[in-house]
Protein backbone atom coordinates (compact mmCIF):
# COMPACT_ATOMS: atom_id res chain seq x y z
CA UNK A 1 0.00 0.00 0.00
CA UNK A 2 1.38 3.39 -0.99
CA UNK A 3 0.02 6.50 0.71
CA UNK A 4 1.00 10.15 0.43
CA UNK A 5 0.76 13.20 2.62
CA UNK A 6 -1.18 15.04 1.24
CA UNK A 7 -3.34 12.27 -0.30
CA UNK A 8 -4.61 11.83 -3.87
CA UNK A 9 -1.28 11.96 -5.70
CA UNK A 10 -1.02 10.08 -9.00
CA UNK A 11 1.27 7.04 -9.08
CA UNK A 12 2.91 6.13 -12.40
CA UNK A 13 5.25 3.39 -13.55
CA UNK A 14 6.93 3.68 -16.96
CA UNK A 15 4.35 6.34 -17.93
CA UNK A 16 1.41 4.08 -17.01
CA UNK A 17 -1.08 5.37 -14.43
CA UNK A 18 -1.40 3.02 -11.43
CA UNK A 19 -4.04 5.12 -9.67
CA UNK A 20 -4.28 7.82 -7.03
CA UNK A 21 -3.07 7.39 -3.47
CA UNK A 22 -3.75 5.57 -1.34
CA UNK A 23 -3.13 2.80 -3.86
CA UNK A 24 -2.26 -0.88 -3.38
CA UNK A 25 0.86 -1.91 -5.32
CA UNK A 26 0.86 -5.62 -6.20
CA UNK A 27 4.59 -6.15 -6.70
CA UNK A 28 5.92 -9.72 -6.88
CA UNK A 29 8.16 -10.49 -3.87
CA UNK A 30 11.78 -9.48 -4.51
CA UNK A 31 10.95 -7.48 -7.65
CA UNK A 32 11.89 -3.75 -7.73
CA UNK A 33 9.73 -1.05 -9.28
CA UNK A 34 10.70 2.55 -9.91
CA UNK A 35 7.60 4.71 -9.70
CA UNK A 36 6.81 8.42 -9.98
CA UNK A 37 4.45 10.11 -7.53
CA UNK A 38 2.94 13.27 -9.03
CA UNK A 39 0.69 15.92 -7.52
CA UNK A 40 0.05 19.44 -8.84
CA UNK A 41 1.85 22.04 -6.73
CA UNK A 42 4.29 19.47 -5.27
CA UNK A 43 7.71 18.11 -6.20
CA UNK A 44 7.45 14.89 -8.23
CA UNK A 45 8.99 12.03 -6.24
CA UNK A 46 10.71 9.09 -7.93
CA UNK A 47 11.04 6.12 -5.58
CA UNK A 48 12.10 2.49 -5.80
CA UNK A 49 9.86 0.02 -4.02
CA UNK A 50 10.45 -3.70 -3.47
CA UNK A 51 7.84 -6.46 -3.48
CA UNK A 52 7.08 -7.68 0.02
CA UNK A 53 7.89 -4.26 1.51
CA UNK A 54 5.40 -3.08 4.14
CA UNK A 55 3.16 -0.11 3.43
CA UNK A 56 4.88 3.15 2.61
CA UNK A 57 3.86 6.76 3.23
CA UNK A 58 5.58 9.50 1.21
CA UNK A 59 5.53 13.08 2.44
CA UNK A 60 5.30 15.40 -0.56
CA UNK A 61 7.14 18.73 -0.59
CA UNK A 62 5.52 21.86 -2.08
CA UNK A 63 7.02 22.89 -5.43
CA UNK A 64 10.14 25.06 -5.20
CA UNK A 65 10.43 28.53 -6.68
CA UNK A 66 11.43 28.94 -10.34
CA UNK A 67 14.85 27.77 -11.40
CA UNK A 68 15.07 24.94 -8.88
CA UNK A 69 14.75 21.25 -9.70
CA UNK A 70 11.21 19.83 -9.78
CA UNK A 71 12.25 16.17 -9.45
CA UNK A 72 13.55 14.62 -6.27
CA UNK A 73 14.81 11.03 -6.67
CA UNK A 74 14.59 8.95 -3.52
CA UNK A 75 15.69 5.38 -2.89
CA UNK A 76 13.83 3.59 -0.10
CA UNK A 77 16.35 1.59 1.97
CA UNK A 78 15.84 -2.11 2.51
CA UNK A 79 14.75 -3.15 6.00
CA UNK A 80 17.77 -4.28 7.98
CA UNK A 81 17.85 -6.73 10.82
CA UNK A 82 19.62 -5.21 13.76
CA UNK A 83 21.81 -7.35 15.98
CA UNK A 84 21.67 -6.07 19.56
CA UNK A 85 25.01 -5.14 21.07
CA UNK A 86 25.52 -6.81 24.44
CA UNK A 87 26.00 -4.31 27.23
CA UNK A 88 28.48 -5.04 30.04
CA UNK A 89 26.92 -5.79 33.38
CA UNK A 90 27.14 -3.01 35.93
CA UNK A 91 29.29 -3.87 38.92
CA UNK A 92 27.20 -4.69 41.96
CA UNK A 93 27.56 -6.25 45.39
CA UNK A 94 29.20 -9.66 45.56
CA UNK A 95 26.70 -12.50 45.56
CA UNK A 96 27.17 -15.45 47.93
CA UNK A 97 28.14 -18.72 46.32
CA UNK A 98 26.18 -21.89 46.84
CA UNK A 99 22.66 -22.00 48.27
CA UNK A 100 21.57 -18.90 50.08
CA UNK A 101 18.81 -19.10 52.65
CA UNK A 102 16.88 -16.21 54.07
CA UNK A 103 14.51 -16.85 57.02
CA UNK A 104 12.13 -14.12 55.80
CA UNK A 105 11.41 -16.08 52.59
CA UNK A 106 8.50 -18.48 52.97
CA UNK A 107 7.49 -21.20 50.58
CA UNK A 108 3.90 -20.28 49.60
CA UNK A 109 3.13 -23.90 48.65
CA UNK A 110 4.63 -25.57 51.74
CA UNK A 111 1.29 -26.09 53.62
CA UNK A 112 -0.95 -26.79 50.64
CA UNK A 113 -2.40 -30.16 49.82
Whether 106 shows a pLDDT value over 90: the answer reads no
Read off the pLDDT band of 27 (50, 70, 90). confident
How many helices (H) does the chain have, and how many strands (E)?
0, 7
Determine how β-strand 32-38 pairs with β-strand 10-13: antiparallel
- Per residue in 46-58, is it b (16+ CB within 10 Å) or e — as a string? ebebeeebeeeeb
With respect to residue 104, please indicate whether it lies within any of the assigned structural domains. no
Question: Number of structural domains, the chain?
Answer: 1
**CATH code (residue 54):** 2.60.40
Q: Which domain holds residue 49?
A: 2-75
Q: Is the pTM of the predicted complex or chain greater than 0.85?
A: no
Amino acid sequence: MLETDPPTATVQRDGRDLGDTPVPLLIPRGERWTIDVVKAGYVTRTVTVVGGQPSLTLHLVPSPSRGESRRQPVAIPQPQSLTPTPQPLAPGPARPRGRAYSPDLDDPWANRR
